[in-house]
């Protein structure tokens, strides 16, 4: 028996119609052939016949069930630190060694004293980023009230809180990075809100499994609120 997607299904990112070929029955995922958006079939439009494979916990992630909901954590560490740590050591020792020599000698013109400011800024920025890669985690908490995304312990931008009732759909947006070393693809997790606007939930470069895992876990958490409470009237 074939499971067919509803023909009315549109990509939440680019609004082009999802075609039958975009559905990967084995993975249970949909990939928009126009913009590359990856998603699980939306809950409301998912035919009962569609299989719903559970995505296994990806590497570098943890899932914790709390009294209020779920907490997903993702460590930031990646292969970049292999290059960044030596860079920081060389750069910082050069820049701060230069600063030290300058402050210990008297006859340095003020122009030369200002010269390394850009280098100091780069050293601080790259060192902070490297430390963040080493110790930071992205924390995604989903409860029946809200979905909250934060990064730490080193402070980082990208804090989000979205009221659960406003979330219509989650999906994973493809981000293509082109560099001289080639093309790499990462994913972000996005939400479509009840007013039709789209909003980025998790920005950091996720692989497809991590992005789909976050989508699936939040969706099943949010599905809880659709269940009738005991004694509640349900149409
Ligand atoms: Zn699309």
- Find the 49 Cα to ligand 1 centroid distance in Å: 24
> Which pLDDT score, from 0 to 100, does residue 57 have?
94
Number of domains in the chain: 3
- Token couple for 218: 């939040």
pLDDT at position 163, please?
Answer: 95
**CA nearest neighbour of 221 among 83, 71, 73:** 71
Q: 143 CA to middle of ligand 1, Å?
A: 28
Q: How far apart are CA 45 and CA 31, in angstroms?
A: 16
Query: Tens-digit pLDDT profile for the chain (235 aa)?
Result: 455 666 678 898 999 998 888 988 788 889 999 999 998 887 655 555 555 678 899 999 999 999 999 999 999 998 999 999 999 999 999 988 888 887 777 777 777 777 678 889 999 999 999 999 999 999 999 999 999 999 999 999 989 999 999 998 899 999 988 888 888 889 999 999 999 899 999 987 899 999 999 999 998 888 754 444 444 343 3
Among candidate residues 137, 193, 144, 138, the one with its CA nearest the CA of residue 170 = 193
State in Å: Cα 150 to ligand 1 middle: 27
d(CA 149, CA 143): 12
Give residue 132 CA to ligand 1 midpoint distance, Å. 32
Cα(169) to ligand 1 centroid in Å equals 14
Same structural domain, 125 and 183:
no
| Helix (H/G/I), strand (E/B), else coil: 170 | strand
What the block records as the tokens of 113 is 């004293």
202 CA distance to ligand 1 middle (Å)? 18
The pLDDT of residue 45: 56
- What DSSP character marks residue 228? P
Contact 160, 184 (CB under 8 A): no
Structure confidence at residue 115 (pLDDT):
66
Tokens of 203: 């920005």
Q: What tokens does 90 get?
A: 């060389």
- Tell me how far the alpha carbon of residue 30 lies from the centroid of ligand 1, in angstroms: 10
- Within a domain: residue 188? yes
Q: Are residues 65 and 154 in the same domain?
A: yes
Q: What is the domain range of residue 30?
A: 1-54
Residue 103 has a pLDDT of: 76
User: How close is the Cα of 116 to the center of ligand 1, in Å?
Assistant: 46
Residue 209, H or E segment: helix 208-223
Answer for the pair 96, 123: CB distance below 8 angstroms, yes or no: yes
Cα 16 to ligand 1 centroid, rounded to whole Å:
6
Query: Are 159 and 125 in a shared domain?
Result: no
In a domain, 231, yes or no: no
Instruction: Tell how far the Cα of 18 is from the centroid of ligand 1, in angstroms.
Output: 8
166 CA distance to ligand 1 middle (Å): 21
Instruction: Give 169's strand partners.
Output: 192
The verdict on 41 and 61 lying in the same domain is: no
Judgement on whether residues 165 and 188 belong to the same structural domain of the protein: yes
Interval between CA 14 and ligand 1 midpoint (Å)? 4
Q: What is the pLDDT of residue 230?
A: 42
- Is the domain of 192 the same as that of 85? no
């Amino acid at each position: 028996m074939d499971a067919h997607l509803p023909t009315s299904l549109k990509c939440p990112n680019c609004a082009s119609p999802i075609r039958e070929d975009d559905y990967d029955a084995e993975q249970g995922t949909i990939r928009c052939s126009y913009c590359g958006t990856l998603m699980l079939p939306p809950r409301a439009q998912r035919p009962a016949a569609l299989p719903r494979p559970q995505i296994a916990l990806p590497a570098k992630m943890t899932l914790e069930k709390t009294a209020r909901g779920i907490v997903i954590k993702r460590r930031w560490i990646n292969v970049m630190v292999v290059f960044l740590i030596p860079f920081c050591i060389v750069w910082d020792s050069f820049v701060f060694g230069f600063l030290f020599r300058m402050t210990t000698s008297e006859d340095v013109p003020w122009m030369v004293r200002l010269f390394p400011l850009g280098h100091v800024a780069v050293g601080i920025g790259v060192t902070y980023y490297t430390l963040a890669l080493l110790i930071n985690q992205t924390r995604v908490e989903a409860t029946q009230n809200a979905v909250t995304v934060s990064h730490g312990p080193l402070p980082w931008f990208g804090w989000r809180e979205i009221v659960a009732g406003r979330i219509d759909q989650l999906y994973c947006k493809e981000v293509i990075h082109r560099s001289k070393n080639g093309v790499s693809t990462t994913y972000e997790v996005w939400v479509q809100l009840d007013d039709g606007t789209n909003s980025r939930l998790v920005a950091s470069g996720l692989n497809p499994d991590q992005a789909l895992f976050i989508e699936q876990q939040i969706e099943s958490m949010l599905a809880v609120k659709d269940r009738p409470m005991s004694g509640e009237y349900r149409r």
